[in-house]
Amino acid sequence: MIQSRAILTISALALSGCMPASREPVETLRIGYQKWSTFSILKSSGELARSFEPRGVRIVWTEFPSGPPLLEALNAGSIDIGHTGDSPPLFAQAAGIPFVYFAASSASPESSGILVKRESPIHQASDLRGRRIGFAKGTSAHTMVLRYLEGNGLSLADITAMYLAPADGRGALESGSIDAWSAWDPYLAAAEEQGLYRKLATGKGFVDGREYYLASGRMAEKEPQRLKEFLSKLESVKTWAKAHHAEVNRFLAAETGIPLDAVAMAEARRNRYDTEPVGADLIAEQQALADRYLQLGLLPKKIDVKTAVLVLAP
């Protein structure tokens, strides 16, 4: 682990400087992250601490298993910045959680998919009728199931939804508690690497697999400049990561405990290392998904996605 962290602090990131030992931080920037993300790489690089702590701002990182609990923490005031997939912000906005989107990653649809056991009789969407499908409620895995079914003439009413935390899905599929499992990397790649499962569908055509970057309403209002600086550091680390695949693979294997082969598989199909504003096209995508969830009775009220978007001034 120490070696992996050292990899990400090499001079290729052009990082320098350290916090004076005599100065105590007087403020805190609290960041929520999921361990398989560009935020993980930023955390390990130490770049934020080097930038903020000499100015008296302490960096605190908190790990979350998925987007919904991260947004609950944002609502509770436990974190200031976080990231999720497509669905969690929609449910959060409907629940009145004060947050904003301030950027998004490039798409990575191949990082999501639906798995079944290798010997399963399920070979196409129609075979899912009446089956139990596991996924984390209100996440991109939920979106994946919804759109895959509807894209093949089925609906959520045709299956039995089993709401499972991401880390519990593979065990449920292995035990036979569910017949199919919708997930994202690294959970997906770790299961595939075992050779016991096959992919019924990838996210291509169903989910974009983006990371949406979110901030609390308080931070958006009071500290937009700090958000801009955070985003700049994230983009610097992403630029480094795009050019250092092997180092990133080794780091993520150490960080997650997932075999290096599975990490390499996941990274080969991941494309989250570019960043863009949440513009009209992404707002339209999120709005369409929100409206569909509303029609299905899963979202409690209609929302207007664009009202939760912050455009950071240059």
Distance from the Cα of residue 59 to its chain's centroid: 20
Is 15's pLDDT higher than 80? no
Nearest to residue 97, comparing CAs of 76, 123, 125?
A: 76
CATH of the structural domain 110-202, one choice from 3.30.450.40, 3.40.190.10, 3.90.79.10, 3.30.565.10: 3.40.190.10
Residue 195, pLDDT score: 87
**Predicted structure pTM score:** 0.86
Q: Where in the chain is the domain with CATH 3.40.190.10?
A: 2-108+209-308, 110-202
Helices (H), the chain: 2-7, 38-45, 47-52, 67-76, 87-94, 140-151, 169-175, 187-194, 217-222, 224-242, 245-256, 260-268, 280-295
Nearest to residue 70, comparing CAs of 104, 111, 35, 110?
A: 35
Residue 26, pLDDT score: 55
Contacts of 12 (CB under 8 A, 6+ apart): 240, 243, 244
Superfamily of domain 2-108+209-308: Periplasmic binding protein-like II (3.40.190.10)
* pLDDT tens per residue, range 219-272: 999 999 999 999 999 999 999 999 999 999 998 888 778 899 999 999 999 888
